Structure 1
Amino acid sequence: MTSGAPPAFGSDMRFQVLGDVEIVVDDRVVSLPSRRQGQLLALLICAEGRPVPADRLADALWGGRPGSQSGKNLQVIVHRLRRTLDDPGRIQYGRSGYSLVAQPAEVDSWEFAALVERAGQALGRRESRRDSRRDTEDAAVLLERALALWRGRAFTGLDDLAPLAEEAERLEQQRRWALTERIDADMALGRHARVVHELVAMVDENPLAEPAVARLMAALHHTGQRTDALELYRRTRAALVGELGLEPGPQLRALHQAILRGDREIGPAVPGRETAHAPHAPPGTAPCLLPPQLGDLTGRDEELRLIAAVLRERSPTGPARCAISGMPGTGKTALAVQAAHEARDHFPDGQLYVNLHGGTARPVDPSHALGRFLRALGMPATAIPDGLDERAEAFRVRLSGRRVLVVLDDAADEAQVEPLLPAGSGCAVLVTSRAALTALPGAHRIALGVLGDAAAVDLLNVISGRTGDDADIPATERLAALCGRLPLALRIAGARLAARPHWSVERLVARLAGEHDRLDELTHGSLSVRASLALGYSGLAGPSRALLRRLGLLETQDFAGWVAAALLDAAPRDAEDVLEGLVEARLVEYAGLDSIGEPRYRLHDLVRLHARERGVAEDPPEVAGAALSRLAGGYLRLAEQAHRLQYGGDYTVLHGKGTRWDCGPAAVRRLLADPAGWLRSERAGLVAAVRHAARLGLSETCWDLAMTAVTLFEAQGLFDDWRSTSETALATAREAGDARGEAAMRYSLGTLAVFRQRYAGARPHFDAALRLFEQVGDRHGQALTIRNAALIERVEGRGEDALASYERALSMLREVGDRHAEAHVLGSIAQIHIEHDRTGEAGPLLETALAVYRELGDLRGTAQILNRMGALLLREERAAAAEAAYRQVGAAARAAGDRIGEAHALLGGGEARLLAGNLDGAAELLESALRLATEVGEPFVAARARLTTGRLAALRDDLPLAASLLSRAAEAFEEIGLPLWHDRATRALRDLDGTKGPARPPG
């Protein structure tokens, strides 16, 4: 229970639902003014302190028809319930919904559950302790307390609400279980007379329930009512034969014989209660249909432990249920069979097994499986009913009062499993399936994945027999990786090595290295990874097969759900249903949530290879090409929109005429609620989409996507991605004779060189880009190129040349309406004025640029202008104002996900503190700036941080440290190609003998 720690309430408040729903305050019942308040309170109690989303509460309260005003109506009901409780803190609201804050002792259903759990623990302990009587007594007391909490059926008067009716039934099952456990505890303690009247009521309610009949017979026998016990058996047998055509079960018959013999010590022989004197099932009635164990199961110790705990678990609602799911080849069957064999002693009445072939196109009919089970349990073939329902009923009756383990291997779905479930709490069910079987009630679920690295190597070594000195660990690790650590693939590889002792592990590694041959190599005898995957593939519907084949075309480790829609050219919701079907079939894996909260998926390497094989065999090349073309168009559409949201429009970017693919306005709004977050999540997909477009010869899509993705690459310092995508798109444009695309990519590569402070390498790109843009008459491209080339002139110390270039670019940008780039140029012109002490001219330009960026909603641009305002304030020696400005820079940069901007903010803040004489504070920020700049690959900020830290060290008379830092700064500025900054660093080196005092920053 997750009730949390409530505040210290002023009154003794208690919530009661085990009967009428009531609130008791200081022993006084507080009436609920409305039915809706009672229902809301009951629903929150059902959640056991966990938050319940508002939409789920509304759906429950209004029976799935909440209406447009449901949210507001729910708020009104919550408000009124809080007023009724006179304690607003009892009902809290958070991001996940509404919750009731209480301790378990304050809610009778919670207290009941806690007492039953403690009783179960006591009953579990008695099996492993010598003083079992004390544990039995403890359990009896706890169960008595739990049962005393009941005043009637749970949620009386409100259980016409579906969720409350379901919870009431669940609680009733728990109550019955608790009553049965308490009766058994009393009988074990010799208190038979006390329980007779309760057992009579139970048998009157269900005369064919053999466990209750067995208990009552034993209790009557021990209280001297032997004749009544024998008469009860006669009536029960007559009813079973007359109504069901069945004889009593073996345990009830054995109890009858014991009473006839006059045995003094007998037990009821109900599941889980045999004592040393309890009768056992007659010989030959305990079938074992389990397949043999593998004998070398490896890496599944934790799963075996969990399954063992589940199979031995006592449940008030029926048999223990455990569902194992996983993709083909993970070893679900091997694990289930091993666990079943290890649990055989706990199920002395038999172990049943059936392979349901759920992964194939023709799963086993549950009726056929039931016929097999009934024959194994001793029912004559002529007595087995024909219909499914009748067979399921006969199966449950046969297992009533018995302890049998049922293993259902490779189930297709819950509908196939449900008729095969026993009802008795002494039985257990172990199911394996590729699907998660989430609708199987009360099941403990174990999702089986691939093995860990060490376990995969161990399994290979065990099967191949190459251990100790014969083991080649590095090669075996590579082999395990090529097998995807999939148990089936590892078994095949190990078996091949065992069959060929003259082969080295390295030889098999070499044979598996080629993806085209890998599935061919992973075959040995009857074992085949391809065959296992093909079996699952054959059971898929047409759309699922098509999606799996197209997912095999992807080159990324994981992907988002919208990708399936693009590959299928389908509506997002329809594609999501198909994708989730593949997840349920365990052919696609859920990979977690991305940074914007969207689920991501992945294919196991071997599944991807099989999907690619099926695609080559079944899809014409044009089908695959069309799917990848839509995918690239989808990335372009979303990246384009993300850029617009971040920049306020199609600013500082050029677009081509490539075809976009639209996943719909609702999906776009959801995916791009955080544009920067979406770009970060889709980094690998964007890069792969550029490659896909290049291979398809889609030049305009290719270069457009590469240029638009710079929005991400620049902010995150992803320079390798920036370079590789631009070079790929440049080659594609050249091959297609696309002069504008070639110009755009030369511009992009030149901008990357400037960003990396490699100015000499930038100039040829800009010269070529400008020539090509002029050739095709693209004024926007010309303006952007001139703007970025002007930066080279500025950093080389040619301020007036740079001003002229910026003014030329500014005129063209205003002509084409690129307000973002215009604001950027204004900031750059202001920077030149700052560097030449013309601060009066810089200020208005910065104010204008800042207003534009804020109007566009561009956080990064805002941070850049604030950074220059900080530089202006430093120039004017206004240290406090400058530090405040740099704090704003840092906040804006963090909000935009701009780590390079953060580094600039830390540097500026350190320079401001140095100007103010706060040496310790300056050192702290400068150290952080240097660390971050080094991490993100920003050499200019790193060099400036060393320059300023060197000046700080000089003020502290640490001349060796100062000389080292200033020398490294000078070298960096020279390497970058910044003569003005190099001169400043060398002058600082010469001035190391200068006086102390507030230091003017080097900007």
Structure 2
Amino acid sequence: MPDRKAQSYFPNTLLKQARLERGLSQKQLADMIEAPQTFMVSRWENGVTTPGPVYRGRLCELFGKSCQELGLPELPSLAHPNDPHLSLFDPSIPLHVSAMRKLIGRDTLSHQIKKQLIQEHCPFLALHGLPGAGKTALSVSIACDEEIQEHFAGGILWIGLGQKPQVLTHLSRLGLLLKLHEKERASLRTHTEWLQALRQLIGQRRMLIVIDDVWNLEDAASCMIGGPCCSYLLTTRLPELAVRFAETHVWHIPELSQDEGEELLYSYMPTLIEQETPFIAQLVQAVGGLPLALSLIGSYLLTQTYHQRRSRVQMVLTQLQQAESRFSLEHPQTALIQDSHLPIDKPLSIYSVIHLSETILDTSSRCALAALSLLPAKPDTFAEETALFITSSTLETLDHLVASGLLEVVEGERYQLHQIVSDYANLYLKEPEAKKRITTYFCQAIQTHQNDHAWIEQEMSTMLRALQIALTEELSDAIVQGIFSFTQSLFFQGLYELAQNLLNDIALQIRQTQQTLWITRLLEQQGKNAISLGQYKVAEQLWQEGLSLAEKLQHAFLTSTLLYDLGELYYKQGHYASSEEYLKRNLELAYQTGTSQEISRTLYSLGAVTYQRGEYTAARAYLQEGLTLAQQTGDAKTITFLINIGAVEADQSHFSEADEAWQKALAYARNLGDRRSICVILVNLGTLSIELRKYERAQVYLQEGLELARRIQHREQMCNVLLGLSELALQQNNLTEGETYLQEGLLLAQEVGNPWFVCNFRQGMGELYLKRQEPQAALNTFSQALKEVPDGSRKETAKIYFGLARAYALLSKPQEAREYAYSSLQRFTDIGYYRANEVQLWLDQFIQEDGSMQL
């Protein structure tokens, strides 16, 4: 939102005094000079705005006073054209365009155009842009600029053409303005004769000739009456015409930015309150910052809410959020708002100015435009192949739309459709088959590009819109398959909330079909997203329901998938026995009916379960078998096998082998864009670096992991990284920093409901208390961690026992210290964990020092 600072205004007391001397009210004065609104007089007298040249002339004539005597700027001089030393200012210049308020957001553009005209002496310039973008308003502003008028000392001429110009009528008017002799004017019959006469009359004068609203290059050429010292400024909504006229000296007139658009609306309604700010921002977005649309909205707001009834303001703002309401806005063509390209008796509206461009389209282009309006509007873009498929047209048709100025080309063979154009086509043009084509496009495109995550990221807005439209059609196997493929891709990219929202949106629709297969697949997808958002209980309920349906269907694939999912879920919850049960059931089924990919991932998970239980030999066997299968088939699961193989090696002090496995996995994951796996590997490498006392390297890995985890909003991985960062901080004796990481991580782990993370953050807090020489707090914390340790996790139990041993040692309780140390050593030795040596050394020293050791 633009910063609306308080402005200082200087009341025009001279104008007010002249009115009061005549005994006139503000309304009476407005009626006498044909001002459409009484508040205009009020604003002039308060110094908020200045009347334009038209009203200034009428005020001077009414009161019999000069502009200076009324406290107004002097009128532009309409000097005698036969005097070469005096300037001619064409009265046809539509000064009403800038009479009420200054242009917003055009200062830089105006400066650049003036530079080309004045400093570079450019003879041909062209402005192009959407209808309503403000091309004419900018041209008027330039024509009225003092530097421009000083440079073009011969004067400024204005020729407004339109779609069906009467060129000879324009030339005749200019002849009269330039004081061409009456007899000579009467003798001129042809266009060529008029051109010759006017060029001879202008001669060496330096003049700016504005040719406004050009639709045909031949029409513009027919109005080139200037001599060698003249410059032309052409405006058109047709980009190709602009280039043909001015070649490289072409300026695109863009829409206003968000802040500029809000500033324009606030210039109409400066009294809007804070609660109404979101409505204003939404209106600017809804019309894509198009100046004409914003001006019509601003004028409507002003007239509808003049008495400042807040309920009325809210109602009008809400009403204008609808495209139909905005297109129905009309304003009589007056001195306040006018379009010289429309008949004077036709009201100005967004519809009327866009409709002019539509009239030059053929039937196929109209149908194509209607189809394209189903796609996301600017600033989003869409690919050429998408446009051709959805419109079922040719490149020639797209080129025609581009030439009309209604469709924009952007870099890389992509297109944009402005929001106003999109709304117009959606409301007033029809293409009955377009929705079916965009549904087909969605289904085919997601199947083709499901694993091309870069493509999906680029086409995300298009795919979301296509999905939205597809859901209005009757569900089919193709649509449902497309939905699930799309959400799987979103899941892979870490867009979990978006995937969940999409699944929730379609859940009721799918359940109402009573198609058991579709419902089962829905349950599997919803459970997967629930897991990513840390909703374990929800996931378990969804998957158990899905497993029951899959087994009733005797659907081997879905049964296998859900057995695997449940095995993974119980693993995350620390229920290793249940996890192993479901995974072994799935492995048996996969060996019978499954693919090598299904066998591979189940082996991976069994490797993870046995790893957590400290059964390293079994874990290595499962993982090596699975890795071989994954590598043979090019399965992306290769990454996760390498991750866990590295973990097994690290636990057994094979640090070099662990680093090698994780570096391979990281390169593979980066190549695939698998951001979740990248997080896991970065934490592992960071933790390994801590173990090797390479703290700077650890910091780099862990900080990258934290940024990525937060970016993809993966709460489990955020826990993982925070755990690694806390360990790094404690190793470097940065206790305050370590405590911050531990507290944040523990809270997050409790929200997620992952007992492994909760247990490990508790252990971290215990280690923190030991470093602070707070043994009782450490004892309490390790005791709590022991209650939360996942079932069957001998490694975590052994780590907690070692923490308890050291706490009891500091509390001078040697018997308890020895008992827990022996228990820890036994478990570490049984599973072959590398920290067994650390515990043995501690225990030896403790016994040697008779229980009074320093930690």
TM-score, normalisation: structure 1: 0.60
Alpha-carbon distance change, 686 to 832 in structure 1, aligned in 2, over 3 angstroms:
same
Q: Distance in 2 between matches of 1:999 and 1:969?
A: 26
CA spacing shift, 1:333–1:966, aligned 2, 3 Å = closer
Report the Cα distance in structure 2 between the residues aligned to 1:788 and 1:900, rounded to whole angstroms: 17
CA contact (8 A) 1:903 1:941 kept: yes
- Taking a change above 3 Å as real, the CA distance of residues 365 and 677 of structure 1, as seen in their structure-2 partners, is farther
Q: Compute the displacement of 1:875 (Å).
A: 1.9
Residue 614 of structure 1 and its aligned partner are, at CA, apart by: 0.5
Residues 419-434 of structure 1 mapped to structure 2, 5 A cutoff = 419-421=222-224, 424-434=227-237
Shift of 1:423: 7.4
The equivalent residue for 1:339 is 142
Distance 2:421 2:515 in 1: 38
1:405 is paired with a residue whose SS is strand
1:740-785 CA-partner distances (Å, limit 9, x unpaired): 2211111100111222332211112112222333344432222222
Structure 1 residue 523: deviation in Å? 4.0
| 1:412 match | 215
1:680 aligns with 2:680: no
Task: For 2:593 and 2:458, locate their aligned partners in 1 and report how far apart those are by CA, in whole Å.
Answer: 32
**Counterpart Cα distance in 2 of 1:391 and 1:810:** 92
Matched residue type, 2:244: A
User: Taking structure 1 as reference, are residues 353 and 851 closer, same or farther at Cα in structure 2, changes over 3 Å only?
Assistant: farther
Give the equivalent residue in structure 1 for 2:358.
537
Larger deviation, residues 303-312 vs 759-768? 303-312
Contact 1:324–1:433 (CA<8 Å) still a contact in 2?
Answer: yes
Distance of aligned partners of 1:486 and 1:978 in 2 relative to their CA distance in 1, 3 Å threshold = closer
The 1:835/1:329 distance shift into structure 2, 3 A limit, reads: same
How far apart are 1:855 and its partner, in Å?
A: 5.3
Alignment of 1:270-669 (within 5 A): 281=84, 289-293=92-96, 294-295=98-99, 296-299=101-104, 300-314=106-120, 320-342=123-145, 343-358=148-163, 363-364=164-165, 378=180, 380-381=184-185, 384=188, 386=190, 401-421=204-224, 424-436=227-239, 437-462=242-267, 464=268, 467=270, 470=271, 472=273, 475=276, 478-479=279-280, 481-483=282-284, 484=287, 485-499=289-303, 501-504=306-309, 505-521=313-329, 523=331, 526-554=347-375, 558-561=380-383, 562-570=385-393, 574=394, 576-590=395-409, 592=410, 597=412, 599-604=414-419, 606-615=420-429, 619=430, 623-624=431-432, 626-643=433-450, 646=451
Alignment match, 1:258: none
Work out whether residues 490 and 498 of structure 2, in 8 Å CA contact, stay in contact via their aligned partners in 1: yes
Aligned counterparts of 1:639 and 1:632: Cα–Cα separation in 2:
11
Question: What is the match of residue 802 of structure 1?
Answer: 579
* Helix, strand or coil at the partner of 2:320: helix
Q: 1:684 to 1:791 in 2, by over 3 A?
A: same
Query: Scaled by the length of structure 2, what TM-score is found?
Result: 0.70
CA–CA distance in structure 2, aligned partners of residues 544 and 937 of structure 1: 44
State which drifts further: 327-336 or 987-996: 987-996
Letter in 1 for 2:691: L
SS in 2 for 1:438: helix
Unaligned runs of 5+ in 1: 1-278, 647-674
Q: What's the secondary structure of 1:324's corresponding residue?
A: strand
1:947 aligned residue: 723
Summarize deviations over 1:404-427 as a string: whole Å, max 9, x none.
Answer: 322111112545434544675411
**Larger deviation, residues 346-355 vs 725-734:** 346-355
CA distance in 2, matches of 1:782, 1:934: 33
Q: 1:868 aligns with which of 644, 647, 663?
A: 644
Q: Distance in 1 between matches of 2:748 and 2:530?
A: 16
Identity %: 20
Alpha-carbon contact 1:479-1:508 (below 8 Å) kept: no
Query: Which SS does the other structure have where 2:497 is aligned?
Result: helix
- Equivalent residues of 1:907, 1:929 under 8 A apart: yes
Q: Which has the higher contact order (CA 8 A, sep 6+)?
A: 2
Distance 1:930 1:353 in 2: 62
Alpha-carbon offset, residue 563 of structure 1: 3.3
Q: In structure 2, how many angstroms separate the alpha carbons of the residues matched to 1:819 and 1:419? A: 75
Matched, 1:885 2:661: yes
Distance 2:85 2:589 in 1: 98
Map of 1:697 onto structure 2 = 474
How far apart are residue 433 of structure 1 and its match?
0.9
959 and 508 in structure 1: CA distance in 2 versus 1, 3 angstrom threshold: closer
- CA distance in 2 between counterparts of 1:945 and 1:346 reads 66
CA-based RMSD of the aligned residues comes to 3.6
Counterparts of 1:827-976 in structure 2, within 5 Å, are 827-843=604-620, 845-854=622-631, 857=634, 860-957=636-733, 962=738, 965-966=741-742, 969-976=745-752
Q: Which residue of 2 aligns with 1:782?
A: 559
Check the 8 A contact 2:376/2:465 in 1, yes or no: yes
Offset, 1:555: 5.4
Name the SS of the counterpart of 1:930 in structure 2: helix
Displacement after TM superposition at 1:814 (Å) = 5.8
The correspondence of residues 167-246 of structure 1 with structure 2, limited to 5 A, is none
The answer (yes or no) to whether the contact 2:123–2:231 under 8 Å persists in 1 is yes
Contact kept? 2:86, 2:153, Cα under 8 Å: no
8 A contact 1:411–1:431 mirrored in 2: yes
Contact 2:726 2:742 in 1 (8 A): yes
**Are the equivalent residues in 1 in contact too, given 2:607–2:619 (CA < 8 A)?**
yes
**Match of 1:688, as an amino acid?**
R
Structure 2: unaligned runs, 5 residues or longer: 1-81, 334-346, 771-802, 808-832, 839-855
Change (3 A) 1:387 1:948: closer
The AA in structure 2 aligned to 1:482 is L
Looking at structure 1, the residues matched to 322 and 622 of structure 2 have their Cα atoms a distance apart, in angstroms, of 60
1:46-65 map, 5 Å: none
1:893 to partner: Cα distance: 2.5
Letter in 2 for 1:637: Q
Displacement after TM superposition at 1:979 (Å): 3.2
C-alpha distance in 1 between matches for 2:170 and 2:637: 68
Distance 2:834 2:377 in 1: 51
CA distance in 1, matches of 2:664, 2:358: 56
Q: Which amino acid in the other structure matches residue 869 of structure 1?
A: I
Give the Cα–Cα distance (whole angstroms) in 1 for the partners of residues 115 and 524 of structure 2: 65
Task: Give the secondary structure class of the aligned counterpart of 1:290.
Answer: coil
Contact 2:132 2:353 in 1 (8 A): yes
